[in-house]
Amino acid sequence: MTTPRFDTLPLAAPLQQALQEQGYTIPTPVQAQAIPLLLQGRDLLGCAQTGTGKTASFSLPILHAIHERPRAPKPKGTRALVLAPTRELALQVAKSFTTYGKNVRFRQTLIYGGVGQNPQIAAMRGGVDVLVATPGRLLDLIDQRCVDLSTVEFFVLDEVDRMLDMGFLRDVKRIVAMLPEKRQSLFFSATLAPNIVQLAVSILRNPARVSIQPETTTAERIEQRVAFVDRDHKRPLLELLLAEQANAKEAKLTMVFSRTKHGANKLAKSLSMAGFAADAIHGNKSQAQREKTLERFRMGLTPVLVATDVAARGVDVKDVGLVVNYDLPNEPEAYVHRIGRTGRAGASGLSVSFCANDELDYLREIEKIIRMEVPRWKDHEWYLPELEEHYRRGGRGSVPQGQRQGGQGRSGGGQGRQGRQGQGQGGQPRQGGHSSSGRQGGYGRVAAVGGAPQRDGGGNRSRGRR
Ligand code: AMP
């Protein structure tokens, strides 16, 4: 099947015009499959992660229907309800509706927690065409009789896997129970585990299925590497990567993932002290702080963002060239989401994961779901061949004491030769001028990370040894 162009899809002229202005001519696979089905009024079960263009795949048909069949919304009511697991994703979705619907007359509002509820109540008073909401605050406002779901025609559940991970199952079920029987329902999830399919079956009616396999996106656009390292050497290895990024001809943004909020804060602080302009984003920060942090990141003022999984949902920044998994996630699906922060909108990206001896089981789970071996990165000073060997033999947990040699008595925890390259003087942010730097070329010296893994991976090890 050849991919159609947007202008061959029966989308209303104001939408075609907005797409043209965005420079979108070819629908992504999920859009090419989903949009025609949704225009026919079908329910949809979509297996697609962020970065595949799924937001446009549901917002365009909804905007089309609103444009073709304009109707005054009922006070406190909405015609379309999109449920998203996080504030960031909700904001992102609303932004897409604004972009694609810029030539359509429609009213939209957002409801999410962490901010005052009065403006949200006021915005709902006259009713809207599109409401994008997170489940908890939406239920609060429904309970206070400030929102009425009885006129919903389109219901979208976005990133359901994450929604369930965050414990929203009961809330989602309560919300679904308030929707009218007659509606069009769309359900998107990056994975279709049995509990997710069960929920989908209870919500959808004879749904069309669209599946965009994560491995297509992970394998094709994003170069992945894993570095087997000692926990103490993650920090110098990260500095090495950041220095490479800062010195690259085409400086790009870097997202670093940490498993805990505390870890994210600590890492961002110590990177800043070391001269890398870094900030942290996590669930303990207020909505205003998170938005400010994201904006500074997007602009390249703080080109290193340390994030936890939850906070990173919905972060859609086009110029992220590098994702570092400082800690491997304990849920393998999170890996796919994390690395999907790079390689956005058709760009290419690099993801480097650090695997210490207590993370072997996490790596095993990840390789199982992406159905490939993450290429090894050996060409660095802190490579631990014995840990890789232990992993290769199916070892779980830690490397037995007797076999551990690497990582001991090496380069003093971070002052290895390469680790010092590119460090700024006097604590000046090395990447501060990022946004004005030229954007061509590759990853600079980091290209070595993406190069073919060396046969003699231990070659560099001896350098750091005493
Ligand atoms: P999403 O998966 O919805 O988060 O979208 C990922 C990114 O791709 C967003 O930055 C969109 O603006 C962009 N995008 C969506 N559809 C297209 C398209 N057909 N052509 C080019 N970029 C697109």
Q: Whose Cα sits closest to atom 10 in ligand 1?
A: 345
**Rounded-to-5 percentages of helix, strand, coil across the chain:** 45, 15, 40
Q: Is 56 left (phi over 0), alpha (psi -120 to 50) or beta?
A: alpha
User: What order of strands is seen across the sheet that includes strand 320-325?
Assistant: 222-228, 349-355, 320-325, 253-257, 304-307, 278-281
Whole-angstrom distance, CA of residue 422 vs CA of residue 127: 55
Q: Is 24 in the pocket of ligand 1 (CB under 6 A)?
A: yes
- Total domain count, the chain: 2
| Residues 131 and 230 occupy one common structural domain | no
Query: Residue 373's CB: how many other CB atoms inside 10 A?
Result: 11
- Contact call for residues 270 and 318 (beta carbons, < 8 A): no
In a domain? residue 465: no
Q: Are residues 138 and 178 in the same domain?
A: yes
Q: Which of 3, 317, 344 to mutate to test the pocket of ligand 1 (most atoms within 8 A of CB)?
A: 344
Contact 353, 381 (CB under 8 A): no
Residue where one domain finishes, among candidates 212, 246, 266 = 212
- Tokens found for residue 104: 């359509």
Indicate which CATH number applies to the domain containing 242: 3.40.50.300
Residue 161 covered by a domain: yes
207 with 270, same domain: the answer is: no
Same domain? For 33 and 66 the reply is: yes
For the chain, 466 residues long, give each residue's pLDDT as a single digit of tens: 456 899 999 999 999 999 999 888 889 889 999 999 999 999 999 998 777 889 999 999 999 999 999 999 999 999 999 999 999 899 999 999 999 999 999 999 999 999 999 999 999 999 999 999 999 999 999 999 999 999 999 999 999 998 998 899 999 999 999 999 999 999 999 888 878 888 999 999 999 999 875 433 444 578 899 999 999 999 999 999 999 888 877 768 999 999 999 999 999 999 999 999 999 998 777 778 888 898 899 888 999 999 998 777 667 777 888 999 999 998 887 888 888 788 765 566 899 999 999 999 999 988 887 778 999 999 899 999 999 999 998 877 665 554 444 443 333 333 333 333 333 333 333 333 333 232 222 222 233 343 322 323 333 333 232 2
Asked which of 410, 427, 444 is the last residue of a domain, the reply is 427
Distance from C-alpha of 381 to C-alpha of 460, rounded to nearest angstrom: 5
Residue 463 maps to a domain: no
Q: Please report the DSSP string for 397-451 in residue order.
A: SSPPGGG--TTSSSSTTT--HHHHTTPPSTT--SSTTGGGS---S--GGGHHHHS
- Residue 145 belongs to what domain range? 6-212
| Within a domain: 433 | no
User: Which residue has its alpha carbon closest to ligand 1 atom 13?
Assistant: 345
Rg of the chain over Cα atoms, rounded to whole angstroms, equals 23
Query: Maximum Cα–Cα distance for the chain, whole Å?
Result: 76
Are 121 and 173 in a shared domain?
yes
Q: How far is the CA of 54 from the centre of ligand 1 (A)?
A: 7
Do 37 and 16 lie in a common domain?
yes
Same domain, 379 and 412: yes
Rounded to a whole number, what is the distance in angstroms from the first to the last CA of the chain? Answer: 61
Measured in Å, residue 160 CA sits from the centre of ligand 1 at 19
* Contact (CB, 8 A) for 68 and 55: no
Neighbours of 285 (CB within 10 A): 19
Please indicate, yes or no, if residue 450 is contained in any of the structural domains. Answer: no
- Distance, in Å, from the CA atom of 185 to the CA atom of 155, rounded to the nearest integer, reads 5
- Asked whether residue 73 is assigned to any structural domain, the reply reads yes
Side chain identity at 30, as an amino acid letter? Answer: V
In a shared domain, residues 96 and 17: yes
CA-closest residue to ligand 1 atom 17: 53
Which protein residue has the closest C-alpha to ligand 1 atom 8?
A: 345
Residue 438 resides in a domain: no
* 166/202 same-domain check: yes
Cβ neighbours, 10 Å, residue 358: 13
In this structure, is residue 89 part of a structural domain? Answer: yes
230 and 206 in one domain? Answer: no
Do 190 and 276 belong together in one domain?
no
Residues in contact with 426: Cβ distance below 8 Å, sequence separation at least 6, in sequence order: none
Of 185, 212, 239, the residue that ends a domain is 212
Spatial distance between the Cα atoms of 299 and 127, rounded to a whole number of angstroms: 35
Regarding whether 145 and 283 lie in a shared domain, the answer is no
C-alpha closest to that of 55 among 113, 99, 18? 99
Indicate if ligand 1 lies below 6 Å from the C-beta of 342.
no
Asked whether 314 lines ligand 1 (CB < 6 A), one says no
